[in-house]
Amino acid sequence: MVRLIFLGPPGAGKGTQAQLLAKNCSIPHISTGDILRSAVNQQTELGMKAQSYMDQGELVPDALILDMVGDRLGQDDAQPGWILDGFPRNVSQAKFLDDLLEKIEQSYDCVVNLDVPDEIIIARLLERGRKDDNEEVIRHRLSVYREQTSPLIDFYRDRQQLVSVNGNQPVDEVSSALEQIVQP
């Protein structure tokens, strides 16, 4: 049973690695960013509310995110395990996740923190060119990450749940490091 939380700045490779590892482990890769982008594309009520925050690189308000994650983790395919990518994004989301997992009687193996320097991130994301990948929005996402998400590094380190991985190496080398974590 594999249950992991992926933490790290935008462009650190969370999505890339979570997708590969989830496929290897036959468990879902649960990305709040992907769920939100799909809601935006389908112009659902959630998508219409979330879009302007995402375009500006702001976090979407917790009120729109928490039930969405609760519903997703309750689905049948998530019972054998999961990789959470992009959630939690602030301390209140982390506390919500603690309560939710207690309620559904689940726990996780660890929190993987992918480390990558800012200048590498900016180059990667400019090359990718998603709608929110222009330099101004990338820099704003980085500052939102530093202010709101990076406190989770200490939050999980203090609980001895954090494992840091150097994300500034080729994709297959990051994958090997992650495989060692799930197969100790």
Contacts with ligand AP5, residue ranges (CB under 6 A): 8, 10-16, 32-33, 36, 53-54, 57-60, 65, 86-87, 89, 93, 124-125, 128, 141, 167, 170-171, 174
CB of 35 to ligand AP5, least distance (A): 8
Residue number with CB closer to ligand AP5 (25 or 50): 50
- CB nearer to ligand AP5: pick between 170 and 184: 170
Shortest distance (Å) from residue 173 CB to ligand AP5: 8
Least distance from C-beta 46 to ligand AP5, angstroms? 11
Q: Nearest 5°: CA angle at 51, between 46 and 52?
A: 130
Tell me: cis bond preceding 9? Omega within 30 of 0 counts: no
Spatial separation of the C-alpha atoms in residues 165 and 67, rounded to whole Å: 30
Burial class (CB in 10 A: 0-12, 13-18, 19+), 71: exposed
Closest CA to 180 of 91, 84, 110: 110
User: Which CB, 1 or 38, lies closer to ligand AP5?
Assistant: 38
Contact 152, 91 (CB under 8 A): yes
Q: Which lies closer to ligand AP5 via its Cβ, residue 10 or residue 28?
A: 10
| In the complex, least distance from residue 101 CB atom to ligand AP5, rounded to whole angstroms | 15
